[in-house]
Amino acid sequence: MLLTSLVLVPLAGMLVVMCLPKGAKWTIRWTATAFSFPPLIASIWMVWDYFFNHSGTSLMAYVVGPYDWIPSLSIQYYMGVDGISVPMVFLTGLLSTVSLLASFGIENRIKEYFAFFLLLEAGMMGVFVALDFFLFYVFWEIMLVPMYFLIGVWGGPRKEYAAIKFFLYTLFGSIFMLVAILIMYFTSEPHSLNMMTLLDHGPTMSHTLQMVCFIFFFIAFAIKVPVWPFHTWLPDAHVEAPTAVSVILAGVLLKMGTYAMLRVSWPMFPEALRSLSFWIAVLGAIGIIYGALVSMAQKDLKKLVAYSSVSHMGYCMLALAAFSSVTAITGCMFQMISHGLITGALFLLVGVIYDRAHTREIAAFGGLGVKIPVYTSIMVYFSMAALGLPLLSGFVSEFMVFIGAFSAVNKYLVGISVIGVVLGATYMLRMVQNVFLGEFDLARWGGLTDINLREIITVAPLAVLTLAVGVYPKPLADMMTATIENLITLMAR
């Protein structure tokens, strides 16, 4: 019930928002935000309850079903969460509310905007709780539609191109997943789409079929992450999307790719994973270095943050390649969470300055620290978090990834990847230097106002959590340990 409501409450919210009168701007804004609160509260309660009552085992908690949904094709309604999905559900709930609050500045076609946003939230929640392949696929796809509209209607100058590129690119990936799902369905006996049953079926498939399914799933998930060389949709989508949508895109959508790898393809096809893990690590390392190098060359603030996502998700891939190490996989989870918090916040902050200055060009700014000190300090705080300053969450995750991966995958690859940290510091510090330090152009930016209370409230929870995870990561790690240990046994089959 709890998990079903995570999906249904935003859906109901969408319908309610659609029925509101067009002119009632504040009613629409607050109604939509109000509908995102129950999932957030439920997910906070779930984190609490899971930590104290369920984190000792790797079993699925709060299970719904399996109920027969479409018995002709053995499709079931089956949901459940474990140690790797609970943090993701929480992240989704938190970032959805934060983004909805950050969307109050939208003045154009408000009703449709908030309706699509709630549909998006329902889809994201669904992906993290679904345990039936069909259900998983439906949620995975359902999100594309609101995302397409959110980028295409409320986006920047090249929004139409970015929207259709995002839609087609991810749909292209999904068709591979569909084929892999159908192959698994028909090779299992009795035919099943239940992910938990298929965990045992995967390793019994022939080597060729395992490789085929693994690669097909990998393509679908890698496009979402995005793993180099499937990343080309990301900068377009990020740059054109409105602020709040970028937050969701970076904070939650990218994680769906890595989450799905951990949930689906990694434990189901251990044989294929073993033979391909080196290449996955290579892709991860390329992503880290490439993303960081391209970030250094960016003139646009938002594009810089977007490419830094490619680099940061590269750490996740490197960790995933080290599938035999608990530290690495935990590091991957940490990286997913901390990237969601930090990059989400960075996009929000870029949005804040863009709303005021109507430009995101790094070179146009300079010395803003004098004029808008509060904004500057928050931005510097998150930049430090992004470059991996100790005591903030980014450091914890990167450290765990490198420690875990060093012994489990090729040492040279890890060595090369560490350069990414230095590069990360370079582009972040350069950005801070160019935007906030140096000469202040009084004539141009004299009228700039500092960050307001609503905007501070939207980034505050992210800042607090970044610090909390950075200072005391143990509770989060404890919550996931049992699940991750179980996953590692499955991957070692």
Among 186, 358, 439, 453, binds other proteins (CB under 8 A): 186
- Listed ranges 166-174, 268-276, 295-303, 426-434: which one lies at the site for other proteins (CB under 8 A): 166-174
> Tell me, what amino acid is at 365?
F
User: What's the closest the beta carbon of residue 168 comes to other proteins, in angstroms?
Assistant: 6
Residue 183 contacts other proteins per CB under 8 A: yes
Which amino acid is present at 305? V
Residues 285, 416: contact at Cβ < 8 Å? Answer: yes
Per CB under 8 A, does 73 bind other proteins? Answer: yes
Residue 136 or 402 with smaller CB distance to other proteins = 136
Report the distance separating Cα 489 and Cα 468, nearest Å: 30
Measured CA angle at 155 (ends 154, 157), to 5 deg: 130
Binding string, residues 136-155; x marks residues near other proteins by CB under 8 A:
-xx--xx-xx--xx--xx--
Of 211 and 296, the one with the shorter C-beta distance to other proteins is 211
What's the chain's length in residues? 493
Q: Which residues have C-beta within 8 Å of that of residue 115, sequence separation ≥ 6?
A: 14, 17, 18, 32
Please give the structure tokens belonging to residue 221.
């998930």
**Residue among 47, 119, 36 nearest 81 (CA):** 47
Decide: is 16 part of the binding site for other proteins (CB under 8 A): no
Give the residues across from 194 on adjacent strands: 132
- The least CB distance from residue 177 to other proteins, in Å, is 10
| Residue 70 in contact with other proteins, rule: CB under 8 A | yes
In the complex, the smallest distance separating the C-beta of residue 171 from other proteins, rounded to whole angstroms, is 5
Q: Beta strand pairing status for 61-70 and 75-81?
A: antiparallel
Closest CA to 169 of 237, 109, 119, 112: 237
Q: Is 21 in the site for other proteins (CB under 8 A)?
A: no
Cβ nearer to other proteins, comparing 223 with 405: 223
Residue 184 or 396 having the CB closest to other proteins: 184
Nearer to other proteins, 115 or 350 (CB): 115
Under the binding rule (CB under 8 A), the answer on residue 72 touching other proteins is: yes
Q: Does 172 bind other proteins (CB under 8 A)?
A: yes
State both tokens at 431: 């950005």
Please tell me whether residue 71 binds other proteins under the rule CB under 8 A.
yes
- Whole-angstrom Cα distance, residue 266 to residue 490? 9
The residue among 26 and 186 lying less far from other proteins, judged by its C-beta, is 186
Considering the rule CB under 8 A, would residue 216 count as an interface residue with other proteins? no
Site size toward other proteins (CB under 8 A) is 34
For residues 127 and 131, give the distance between their C-alpha atoms in angstroms, rounded to a whole number.
9
Least distance (Å) between residue 182 CB and other proteins: 4
Q: Are 152 and 164 in contact (CB under 8 A)?
A: yes
Q: Whose Cβ is closer to other proteins: residue 152's or residue 351's? A: 152
- Phi and psi for 41 in degrees, rounded to 5? -65, -40
Minimal distance, residue 87 CB to other proteins, in Å:
26
Q: Which is nearer to other proteins, 51 or 69 (CB)?
A: 69
Q: Is 449 left (phi over 0), alpha (psi -120 to 50) or beta?
A: beta
Stretch that binds other proteins, among 88-96, 156-164, 236-244, 412-420 (CB under 8 A): 156-164
Considering only 44, 59, 182, 422, the residue that binds other proteins (CB under 8 A) is 182
- Who's near 239: CB < 8 A, 6+ residues apart? 156, 158, 162, 300, 302, 303, 306
Alpha helices in 249-392 (DSSP H): 254-260, 266-268, 270-296, 301-321, 326-357, 368-371, 373-387
Q: Measured from the CB of residue 275, what is the shortest distance to other proteins in angstroms?
A: 22
Please tell me whether residue 240 binds other proteins under the rule CB under 8 A.
Answer: no
Q: Under a CB-based contact definition with an 8 Å cutoff, are residues 294 and 424 in contact?
A: no
Distance CA 79, CA 320 (A): 24
Q: Distance of CA 305 to CAs 310, 351, 424, 489, Å? A: 9, 12, 11, 36
Quote the least distance from Cβ 42 to other proteins, whole Å.
Answer: 23
Task: Name which of 111 and 312 has its Cβ closer to other proteins.
Answer: 111
Query: What does the per-residue mask of binding to other proteins show for 100-139, with x meaning CB under 8 A?
Result: ---------x--x---------------------x--xx-
What string marks each residue from 29 to 68 as x (binds other proteins by CB under 8 A) or -? ----------------------------------------
* Residues at the site binding other proteins, with contacts judged by CB under 8 A: 69-73, 109, 112, 134, 137-138, 141-142, 144-145, 148-149, 152-153, 159-160, 163-164, 167-168, 171-172, 175, 178-179, 182-183, 185-187
